Amino acid sequence: MVIACSDSRTDPSLILQCEPGEIFVVRNIANIVPPYEPDTMHHGVSSALEYAVKSLKVTNIIILGHSGCGGIKSLMGNKLAAEDEFITRWLSILDSVREKVLARFAMDGKEPCTEACSACEMEGIVHSMENLRSFPWVAEQVEKGNLHIFGWYFELKDGLLLGYNEDSDTFEPQHPSCLSSYN
Min dist CB 19 to Zn ion, Å, is: 24
- Ranges of H-type helices in the chain: 12-15, 44-50, 70-77, 87-91, 95-104, 114-133, 136-143
Answer for the pair 137, 110: CB distance below 8 angstroms, yes or no: no
Answer for the pair 178, 18: CB distance below 8 angstroms, yes or no: yes
Nearer to Zn ion, 106 or 156 (CB): 156
Answer for the pair 24, 56: CB distance below 8 angstroms, yes or no: yes
Min dist CB 21 to Zn ion, Å, is: 25
For Zn ion, the binding residues (CB under 5 A) are 5, 7, 69, 71
Nearer to Zn ion, 7 or 123 (CB): 7
Query: Residue 150 and residue 152: Cα distance in Å, rounded?
Result: 6
Min dist CB 8 to Zn ion, Å, is: 10
Min dist CB 66 to Zn ion, Å, is: 6
Nearer to Zn ion, 11 or 143 (CB): 11
Answer for the pair 171, 163: CB distance below 8 angstroms, yes or no: yes
Nearer to Zn ion, 71 or 151 (CB): 71
Answer for the pair 31, 63: CB distance below 8 angstroms, yes or no: yes
Min dist CB 181 to Zn ion, Å, is: 25
- Strand pairing category for 160-165 and 60-66: unpaired
Nearer to Zn ion, 68 or 163 (CB): 68
